[in-house]
Amino acid sequence: MKQGLPYVPRGQVIGLLGGSFDPAHEGHAHITREALKRFGLDEVWWLVSPGNPLKARGPARLGQRMARAREVMKHPRVRVSDFEAQVGTAYTAETVRALMAAYPQARFVWLMGADNLVQFDQWREWRWIMENVPVGILARPRERAAARGAKAARIFKRFQLRGEASLLLGQANAPAWCFVNLPMTDVSSTKIRQSGSWPRRAGIPEKD
């Protein structure tokens, strides 16, 4: 059992929210709480990644981001983990495979914002992800129309659950995905970094 990931009873439905969380903010916490309610999940695990392969610039130190994530997301059914750093995975498909191998008794649902669906076809083995775990899409401001027209959405259109059936996603067999609209704030990690309230980046020494 990896550090930070608990024993999981058979049949437990776990939502996986991956990202750099650089830094974590209320927007992440909001979509997590909504995912728990909308998709029939028992828990959500935040997978704080060592870095994002699609971003050229590295994030703040992992320990710093983990600490911030735990401050922001305080919920009895949400866990913050550095699983990817522990097992050495760099891509979502690798991480999902590792989790499925470590927890064969669990059911996993991949969670992401609508903006990620737009670029999902750029992810390594994105089709494998769609074909092996249900995917829950949570709409973000100004991304709804683009997400509905995304390549992944078009190719897997016939496997889409209607929004009113979202609670069935956790028990659905892949491929299955569901898109839900949410009232959301426009806060973002980029805006927080630009504000100067989250200044330290990887490679910059931190004060004790």
Q: Which domains can be identified in the chain, with CATH numbers? A: 13-185 (3.40.50.620)
Sign of CA dihedral 119, 121, 122, 123: positive
State the pTM of this model. 0.84
DSSP state of 7: -
Asked if residue 137 lies in contact with residue 41, where contact means CB atoms within 8 angstroms, the answer is: no
| Per-residue pLDDT at 121 exceeds 90 | yes
Q: Taking the CB of residue 168, how many other CB atoms lie within 10 A of it?
A: 15
Q: How far apart are CA 156 and CA 135, in angstroms?
A: 11
User: Per-residue confidence at 140, pLDDT binned at 50, 70, 90?
Assistant: low
Phi first, then psi: what are they for 39, rounded to 5°? -110, 10
User: Residue 151: its pLDDT value, please?
Assistant: 95
d(CA 41, CA 140): 20
For range 112-137, the mean pLDDT: 95
CA 70 to chain centre: 15
Q: In the prediction, which pLDDT does 6 show? A: 74
Taking each helix axis as running N to C, give the angle between helix 26-38 and helix 62-72, from 0 to 180 degrees, rounded to the nearest 10. Answer: 60
Strand segments (E) across the chain: 13-19, 43-48, 78-81, 107-113, 135-138, 160-161, 177-180
Rounded CA gap, 123 and 116, in Å? 10
Give 5 or 117, the one with higher predicted confidence. Answer: 117
Tell me the Cα Rg of the chain.
16
Please check the confidence at residue 207 and state whether its pLDDT lies above 50: no
